Chains A and B, each alone.
Chain A
Amino acid sequence: MNAIVTKESLPEPRPASERELLLRVDNVSLSFGGVKAITDISFDIRKGEVRAIIGPNGAGKTSMLNVINGFYHPQEGTITWRGEVRRKMRPYEAASQGIARTFQNVALFKGMTTLDNIMSGRSLKMSRNFFWQLLWRGPAEREEIEHRRKVEEIIDFLEIQAIRKTPVGRLPYGLQKRVELGRALAMEPELLLLDEPMAGMNLEEKEDMSRFILDVNSEFGTTIALIEHDMGVVMDLSDRVVVLDYGKKIADGTPEEVQANQAVIDAYLGVSH
């Protein structure tokens, strides 16, 4: 053996369950009329971890993300964000508190370029008001340059320099997903919610995306909560996994624990309810 760095010599990361608490969900229930989307779910997300939310179709995963970023308001239960119990709020308030997300179906401005789309992710960080923007010279210009620099760093990070000036509507699906990730990153979020970041991608695109997610996590220290159906990806990427089925939590733990859990196996293979 003469490797420069052996895998063993890498520092062992702290187990996720011992890290600082970032977000806690306590006994949350959400229903739409008579349909119970989420029933009495509790779990937590800790700083710096990659947390996966998995479950069969209709298990309530996306609803859960929507609750976390303030789009839905649970009828029961509380959400604690950085130690404070959260009031009823709008999504942009969640965004300004450092929660960013991507969507299951790409939700970009199709006619705008990659650069402009990612730049739009900075809008919450722009402090100069409309009149300064109108005047343009001076502070607003300096601010724009600063934001542009940040956006260029993200473009460099995601290796999308070649499509900087291409309208996103013309891009293939895999790249659109990457641009969407870029826009979420532009907010410099503390918690990044990814709703099926790899849906509809081919193997190569999935690998690229996995790499980017891990890099975002290690490079920027961003906490990530992701929904994903590809079990290989979930098991490789995440530190801890929470499993939902019919709106209820059926398991929570490390990928290995979850994989061995009988309730999870039943939920995926299907038993009569």
Chain B
Amino acid sequence: MARLAEAASGGEDTFPKILLRNARVFGDRTAVREKDLGIWQSWTWSGVLDEIRAFSVGLKDLGLAPGDKVAIIGANRPRLYWSMVAAQALGAIPVPVYADSVAEEMAFVLGHAEVRFAVVEDQEQVDKLLSMDNLPTLEHVIYDEPRGLRDYDHTRLHAYTDVQDRGRKLLSADAGATAAWEQGFQDMNGRDLAVMLYTSGTTGRPKGVMLSFDNLIVSARNGNAFDSLNETEEVLAYLPMAWIGDHVFSLAQAFTAGYCVNCPESLDTIDVDRLEIAPTYFFAPPRVFENLLTRIMVRMEDAGRIKRSMFHFFMGVARRSGEKILNGEAVPFTDRVLYRLGEYLVYGPLKNRIGFTRLKVGYTAGEAIGPEIFQFFRALGLNLKQLYGQTEASVYITLQPDGEIFGDTVGKPAPGVELKIADNGEVLYRSPGVFVGYYKNDEATKSTKTPEGWVHTGDAGIIAENGHLKIIDRAKDVGKLTDGSLFAPKYIENKLKFFPNIKEAVAFGHERDKVCVFLNIDLTAVGSWAERNNVNYASYQELAAHPDVYGMIQAHVDQVNKDLSQEPMMAGAQIHRFLILHKELDADDGELTRTQKVRRSFIAERYEPLIEALYDGSTSKHVRTEVVYEDGRKGAIEATVEIRELTPYPASGATREAAE
């Protein structure tokens, strides 16, 4: 709480002010690294101050005024992060935008936010902006990577370095310019708007979440204090900049704690870059850990016999005692010795391969993580934890404290956060991180945030006896079958997705007589299985339709039914029929959000014939689906999809309860 008070009282309450402090206090410490031409280039905090100051002065000279919106579009690059603080120093508001969103989505956000300036990564983004001719407010576009842009008209298009040079010239021409720049943001305070982040929008148009400096800085300081993060941490900035998580981890927490942010060479090299950096603080959505585990397992299958048996033996030890050791609980002496030995022989080298040697704390959030995946990493001695957060909360709502890790909960309220559960089961919270409002959307603000400051999360959950929060599903997605039993689609889908062979699942059942699901197989896992079992396939579609694959998936679905039958509340929602989709669900086709969550209603509409077939008892169905390629061209995939039926288990939860 002392730190809370510090943020509220005087201290450095905006990022430009924190930048000045960091340059003073951590001047020679590395603040940012970026891998360029195969070599990690680094900047110290005083170097960063110099870069930001020059760019900021250049922006001002170009005409950026207080209150203006600056769009930031691109992958995680130091200059794009710097642009945000450079804009904030002038009282302008950065608006990071998802770089891979299609032109139409992007045009909506840019238009809605009324951006005057845009700082973009490269030609791809410049071209995207050029293709939009309904942006009357956009005046200047600044790009980082000059490649391919030489022949463009540069009256309102500028190279980042040119703007910076302009600033440098002004700074060196006038001795008072530096002081004037610093004076410019001394009057700003924590209540001023820091950033606008558009939520990726599982439903409807994206909404612009306005966050103040206080929101971000207080949340960041609380987060740092919770896990005792300091200036020695190393993080890898690889998640979309427009996402609140990256904004807080790679900017807000990095600034407040003074730690170093590493920008990977490209999105494809993250695995190698992580290995080289070995971050101490790491955040990833569950699918990153899922992919890591799948890859480790696939490679172990290919390893020699000695290595493989060593791996399995020591993983057995780790599974038995690793988590207990991590939690500081008592374990038999032999296991303690074996675990120490395993650390040298298996766990250590393995952690080194995936770049987790120095990991102090790792978080996962966004979706539920499979218990085996979660346990695997914790058993290795990695302090992986779950958190529950939202853009509207500046990330943190609940966190798992060290030593209090339960697979099915998302932890206790973060420092300064109050929680309550509404009558309909929806989770509400109130915290210093609660957003100011939705930009130009008072109606949505009113329906989300009560006058007392409570925010509706839209998620249904329960608070367990130990004070931990457990999320069941989206509040609006929880439905009922026609026989009245509870239907929580995500709960079922997550159970299915915990099998490495199943990548995506979409469950249907609200106001219907039974539960049916669409499935996507995981091409890496099933592909490796196919290789080992001499199954030939040319495409996802062919592999997905293979009878043996169907058989394997059927066994998984059956296992899920068995699990569901054990739970009194869920036993009625067992899966009766399923099919494996003929194509992978893709964000480019609008089937997933940019953060890879399924868009249920959209999928229901798009695959209506398949849903009909699931419920009308047919055993196969011919479908034709339009797909959009990355360049916007359209094509179609045709296939006959098989539908399989299962017999549900009798609900045994009640009897078991009686037996206990």
Contact = CB atoms under 8 A, between A and B. Distances in A.
B133 interface: yes
Contact of B269 (A2, A5, A149, A162): A162
A153 B126 CA distance: 22
Given A215-B147, A215-B148, A2 B153 contact: no
A70 B141 CA distance: 47
A119 B266 CA distance: 21
Given A3-B130, A4-B138, A203 B629 contact: yes
Interface of A: 1-6, 9-11, 149, 152-153, 155-157, 159, 161-162, 164, 203-204, 207, 215, 218-219
Interface in B155-194: 156-157
B130 A4 contact: yes
Those 8 A-B pairs whose CB atoms lie nearest each other, nearest first: A162-B268, A152-B37, A5-B153, A9-B153, A162-B269, A161-B265, A152-B38, A4-B156
Nearest to B145: A156
Nearest to A2: B136
A28 B399 CA distance: 77
B70 to A, nearest CB: 15
Contacts of B138: 2, 4
A161 B269 contact: yes
Contacts of B141: 4
Interface in B123-142: 126, 129-130, 132-136, 138, 140-141
A93 B269 CA distance: 38
A149 B133 contact: no
Q: How large is the interface on B (under 10, 10 to 19, 20 to 34, 35 or more residues)?
A: 20 to 34
A4 B153 CA distance: 8
Contacts of A215: 147-148
Given A2-B136, A215-B148, A161 B266 contact: yes
A207 B134 contact: no
Contacts of A153: 37
Nearest to A164: B38
B152 interface: yes
A273 B136 CA distance: 61
Given A2-B133, A204-B629, A219 B150 contact: yes
13 contacts: A2-B133, A2-B134, A5-B152, A6-B153, A10-B151, A10-B153, A11-B151, A152-B38, A156-B37, A161-B266, A162-B266, A203-B631, A204-B631
Contacts of B272: 162
A236 to B, nearest CB: 13
B135, B153, B266, B633 — which one has the most chain A CB atoms within 10 A of its CB? B153
A219 B631 CA distance: 23
B630 interface: yes
Query: Most chain-A Cβ atoms within 10 A of its Cβ — which of B36, B38, B266, B269?
Result: B38
Contact of A155 (B38, B132, B148): B38
Contacts of A6: 153
A215 B123 CA distance: 11
Given A4-B157, A5-B152, 4 more contacts: A2-B135, A5-B156, A215-B148, A219-B148
Among A3, A5, A11, A159, the one with the most B-chain Cβ atoms within 10 Å of its Cβ is A5
Contact of A204 (B129, B140, B630): B630
Interface string B486-520: 00000000000000000000000000000000000
B409 to A, nearest CB: 37
A159 B266 contact: yes
B631 A207 contact: yes
Contacts of B136: 2
B152 A10 contact: yes
Nearest to A11: B151
A209 B332 CA distance: 60
Contacts of A218: 148, 150-151
Indicate the member of A4, A153, A203 with the most B CB atoms within 10 Å. A4
A153 B136 CA distance: 38
Nearest to B136: A2
B528 to A, nearest CB: 16
Nearest to A13: B151
A5 B157 contact: yes
A9 B151 CA distance: 10
Contacts of B151: 10-11, 218
A272 B409 CA distance: 77
Contacts of A2: 133-136, 138
Contacts of B266: 159, 161-162
Given A155-B38, A156-B37, A162-B272, A4 B129 contact: yes
A1 B37 CA distance: 39
